Amino acid sequence: MRIAIISDIHGNYTAYQAVLADIKSQNIDRIVCLGDIITLGPQPIEVLNALRELNCIFIKGNHDAAILDPERAEEFEITEYLIPDLYWCRDQLTNADLKLIETFEATHEIVLPNGVVVLFFHGSPLSSIDIIQATTEPKLLDKYFEAQKATVFIGGHSHIQMYRRYGEKLILNSGSVGNAFKFTYSEGNVPSLLPWAEYMIISQSGNSLDVDLRRIYFDTTELLKIVAKSGLPGKAWWLRQYLQSAK
Tens-place pLDDT, residues 99-142:
999 999 999 999 999 999 999 999 999 999 999 999 999 999 99
Q: What is the pLDDT of residues 168-187, one digit of tens each?
A: 999 999 999 999 999 876 55
> Sign of dihedral through CA atoms 22, 158, 161, 242?
positive
Calculate mean pLDDT across residues 54-65.
96
Nearest to 186 by CA among 153, 156, 154, 160: 160
d(CA 201, CA 111): 16
Lowest mean pLDDT, pick from 27-41, 165-179, 183-197, 202-216: 183-197
**Is the separation of the CB atoms in 179 and 129 below 8 Å?**
no
**Is the separation of the CB atoms in 134 and 161 below 8 Å?**
no
Which phi and psi angles does 115 have, rounded to 5°? Answer: 95, -10
> Sign of dihedral through CA atoms 56, 61, 65, 71?
negative
d(CA 243, CA 241): 6
Mean pLDDT taken over the chain: 94
Bridge partners, 4 (sequence order): 31, 201
**Is the separation of the CB atoms in 33 and 59 below 8 Å?**
yes
In this prediction, residue 244 carries a pLDDT of 56
Calculate mean pLDDT across residues 33-58.
96
Whether residue 247 is predicted with pLDDT greater than 50 in this model: the reply is no
Percentage, residues of the chain above pLDDT 70: 96
d(CA 153, CA 169): 8
